[in-house]
Amino acid sequence: MTDALLLDVRNVSVSFDGFRAINALSLALKAGEMRAIVGPNGAGKTTMMDIITGKTRPDSGTVTFKGHDLTRLDEPVIARLGIGRKFQKPTVFEALTVTENLLLSLKGIRSPFSVLFARESVQERQRLAELLSLIRLENMADFRAGDMSHGQKQWLEIGMLMGQEPDLLLVDEPVAGMTDAETMATADLLREINKTRSVVVVEHDMDFVRALDVPVTVLHEGSVLAEGTLDEVSADPRVIEVYLGR
Ligand SMILES: Nc1ncnc2c1ncn2[C@@H]1O[C@H](COP(=O)(O)OP(=O)(O)OP(=O)(O)O)[C@@H](O)[C@H]1O
């Protein structure tokens, strides 16, 4: 039933200089769902995220989120509607502490000046504690973000996105460059987040996708090639062909 959908990408196409990067792509996400998107290089994963977040306008098709047609809205409006996007590289404020970074992200209440010079409210302190616990950086609250590991920066940025309280979190290759332990911790983190938010995660790392244990959509040449559990799509001859057959 369409009403139960949080995000409904329908029959979307976009071409760049005559090359069809997204080709009649349809993807539906129910509220509360987490979906993993996989696919070979150039399959259209990033372009799909760009279309959902308003960075790229599709040539045709519709993208509906909470009843709004996203193809008519620009990036800041879409973000305020409740879509948070985590790009592949961490973009935290390196000179600020973990706490200061999180404070800056809290929905609606903070200016950079007040983060540095004003005391936080009881409500902010409580939200901060929740976010620090979620991203498991309680012991590093006063560390400079620039002094942390790559994985810790990624978790901090995910915490900052959660500070905005999005309904849907889009996460692009979060575990690239992480250790195995960090990769598994990131799967736990996203599963925890998925208890209260919907999540779409693009990732090449199949151990990570397996640990997520969520439905998988395989993209190829800008379209959905297969959908199902990781075991189902991995056994699909068409999927094997696009990953191994060239
Ligand atoms: N702005 C653009 N101009 C021209 N071509 C583009 C543009 N953006 C994407 N493309 C092309 O569209 C196709 C899909 O690219 P996209 O980055 O979405 O794939 P991807 O699945 O995210 O790949 P990867 O796994 O390598 O990140 C590629 O062939 C890419 O070269």
For the chain, give every domain's residue range: 2-82+166-244, 96-165
Atom of ligand 1 nearest to the CA of 39: 21
Decide: 11 and 214 in contact? Cβ < 8 Å.
Answer: no
Decide: 132 and 105 in contact? Cβ < 8 Å.
Answer: no
223 lines ligand 1 (CB under 6 A): no
Band of pLDDT at residue 88, cut at 50, 70 and 90: confident
21 lines ligand 1 (CB under 6 A): yes
pLDDT of 85 above 60: yes
Which spans in 82-205 are helix H? Answer: 98-105, 112-117, 122-134, 150-163, 180-193
- Quick one: average pLDDT of 92-121? 77
- 33/16 Cα distance (integer angstroms): 31
> What pLDDT does residue 111 have?
60
pLDDT of 56 above 50: yes
pTM: 0.92
Percent of the chain with pLDDT over 70: 92
Decide: 209 and 238 in contact? Cβ < 8 Å.
Answer: no
Given strand 60-65, what is the order of strands in its sheet?
A: 19-30, 5-16, 60-65, 68-69
37 lines ligand 1 (CB under 6 A): no
pLDDT of 210 above 90: yes
Band of pLDDT at residue 93, cut at 50, 70 and 90: very high
Q: At CA 191, angle to CA 200 and CA 29, rounded to 5?
A: 30
Decide: 78 and 53 in contact? Cβ < 8 Å.
Answer: yes
Query: Which carries the bigger pLDDT value, residue 102 or residue 123?
Result: 102
> What pLDDT does residue 1 have?
44
90 lines ligand 1 (CB under 6 A): no
User: Which class does domain 2-82+166-244 fall in?
Assistant: alpha beta
**What confidence tens digit (pLDDT) does each residue in 114-171 have?**
555 566 777 888 899 999 999 999 999 999 999 999 999 999 999 999 999 999 999 9
Token duo for residue 218: 């395989």
**What confidence tens digit (pLDDT) does each residue in 21-50 have?**
999 999 999 999 999 999 999 999 999 999
> What pLDDT does residue 106 have?
85
> What pLDDT does residue 43 have?
95
> For all residues of the chain together, what is the average pLDDT?
92
> What pLDDT does residue 2 have?
45
Expressed in angstroms and rounded, the spacing between residue 137 Cα and the centre of ligand 1 is 34
151 lines ligand 1 (CB under 6 A): no
- Quick one: average pLDDT of 67-73? 94
61-70, 87-96, 162-171, range with the lowest pLDDT: 87-96
- 203/201 Cα distance (integer angstroms): 6
